[in-house]
Amino acid sequence: MTHFPDVSTPLWTVHREDTVASTNEIAGRLPAWHAVTALRQTQGRGRYRRHWVSDEGGLWVSAVLPTPGSPLLWSVLPLAAGWALRNCITQLGVEGLHLRWPNDLLLGSAKLAGILVERFNPECAVVGIGINVSNNPGSEDTSLSGAVTRLVDLLSPLPHQDFILASLLAHLAQAQEMLAAGRISALLPELNAVWHIKRVHITLPGERFIEGEFLGVDAQGNLLVKDRENRQHTLSPMDVTKLREA
Ligand code: BTN
Mean pLDDT for 202-221 is: 91
* Contact (CB, 8 A) for 99 and 196: yes
The binding-site residues of ligand 1, defined as CB within 6 angstroms of any ligand atom, are 22-24, 41, 44-47, 50, 52, 54, 60-62, 104, 114-116, 128-130
Q: Does 166 have pLDDT greater than 90?
A: yes
Determine what percent of the chain is predicted with pLDDT higher than 90.
74
Ligand 1 center–CA 28 separation, angstroms: 13
Helix (H, G, I), strand (E, B) or coil at 16: strand
Ligand 1 center–CA 228 separation, angstroms: 34
d(CA 187, CA 127) in angstroms, rounded, equals 18
pLDDT score, position 71 = 82
pLDDT tens for each residue of 54-89: 999 999 999 999 998 888 788 899 999 999 999 999
Q: How many CB atoms lie within 10 A of CB 165?
A: 24
Single pTM value for the model = 0.93
| Identity of residue 105 | L
Q: Does 144 have pLDDT greater than 90?
A: no
**Nearest C-alpha to atom 15 of ligand 1 is from which residue?**
45
Determine what percent of the chain is predicted with pLDDT higher than 70.
96
pLDDT score, position 243 = 86
- Alpha helices of the chain — where are they, by DSSP H? 23-27, 71-74, 77-92, 137-140, 161-180, 184-192
pLDDT tens for each residue of 115-139: 999 999 999 999 999 999 999 988 8
pLDDT score, position 2 = 41
Which atom, in ligand 1's list, is nearest to the CA of 58?
9
- Buried b / exposed e across 75-108, counting CB within 10 Å, b at 16+? bbbbbbbbbbbbbbbeebebeebbbbbbbbbbbe
pLDDT score, position 141 = 85
| Phi-psi map region of 69: left, alpha, beta (phi>0 left; psi -120 to 50 alpha) | left
- Buried b / exposed e across 173-201, counting CB within 10 Å, b at 16+? bbbbebbeeeebeebbeebbebbbbeebe
Per DSSP bridges, beta strands 13-20 and 34-41 are parallel
Q: Does 95 have pLDDT greater than 90?
A: yes
* Contact (CB, 8 A) for 214 and 225: yes
pLDDT tens for each residue of 6-45: 445 679 999 999 999 999 999 999 999 999 999 999 999 9
Regarding predicted confidence, which is higher, 168 or 221? 168
User: What confidence tier does 233 reach under pLDDT thresholds 50, 70, 90?
Assistant: very high
d(CA 43, CA 52) in angstroms, rounded, equals 7
pLDDT score, position 9 = 65
Mutate to test the pocket of ligand 1, among 86, 116, 169 (most ligand atoms within 8 A of CB): 116
Mutate to test the pocket of ligand 1, among 54, 132, 141 (most ligand atoms within 8 A of CB): 54
Q: Does 238 have pLDDT greater than 70?
A: yes
Q: How many CB atoms lie within 10 A of CB 38?
A: 24
List the 124-131 sheet strands across, edge first.
13-20, 34-41, 59-66, 124-131, 110-121, 104-107, 97-100
**Nearest C-alpha to atom 16 of ligand 1 is from which residue?**
128
